[in-house]
Amino acid sequence: MAMLPLVLHWFFIEWYSGKKSSSALFQHITALFECTVAALITLLVSDPVGVLYIRSCRVLMLSDWYTMLYNPSPDYVTTVHCTHEAVYPLYTIVFIYYAFCLVLMMLLRPLLVKKIACGLGKSDRFKSIYAALYFFPILTVLQAVGGGLLYYAFPYIILVLSLVTLAVYMSASEIENCYDLLVRKKRLIVLFSHWLLHAYGIISISRVDKLEQDLPLLALVPTPALFYLFTAKFTEPSRILSEGANGH
């Protein structure tokens, strides 16, 4: 959940920056800075205050995330709202982090965009910021409703979504070989970002007591991109249409 704002920031910056804009890289760096500082501040203000680690209650089952559903009702008449966060602070710390991300974004990004986004029209300069004002409330609701489910399923969600988004990006950018990938630096940045997500998903799935057996799976991180590059020429639409017209 902490990585999602950064990934979405990068996605919308890339989406709205335009092919000829030179400001995208600076916006990417600023988004990384905002999320990193927000994470550090969140850790520092959490218990114990002033250090970069937290004291957390151990998660035993899915119901630990939804203690508000287990408020007692003596004699089935009046519900006593006395439950607390059983997984403290894993549930509320995300909301605190989002608040700091939003504040830092509103303080830093508009000034940066106004100064360097000269390659974009006035109406397009702030669209990535407007997008964040939409996806932060959505992420907040997602954490509030599905925090427990995400806690158990996030490694698999990360792996699937990172694979899908990488394939969509390479297809939309018309990348069919290594040269197309290397010709622009932004494409390499996007590729390495997806590789980091792949690696994070694999590490999250790995068993702590058998790391020596699971960590070699990190060698598979480049496999999806290489598979796409090697097979893209066989699925190029114009080739399929021409072969169909020739009766092959």
Record the tokens describing residue 82, joined without a space: 């006395």
Q: What percent of the chain has pLDDT over 90?
A: 18
Average pLDDT of the residues in 223-239:
79
Instruction: Count CB neighbours of 92 within 10 A.
Output: 15
Query: Does pLDDT of 120 surpass 70?
Result: no
Residue with structure tokens 């690696």?
199
Query: Does pLDDT of 140 surpass 90?
Result: yes
What's the residue count for the chain? 248
Residue with structure tokens 């390479």?
170
Average pLDDT of the residues in 6-30:
78
Domain boundaries, the chain: 2-54+89-246
Record the tokens describing residue 62, joined without a space: 């899915």
C-alpha 78: how far from chain center: 42
Contact 121, 20 (CB under 8 A): no
| Separation CA 146–CA 157 (nearest Å) | 13
Q: What is the pLDDT of residues 102-114, one digit of tens each?
A: 999 999 888 887 7
Residue bearing the bigger pLDDT, 183 or 96: 96
pTM of structure: 0.79
Average pLDDT of the residues in 39-62:
88
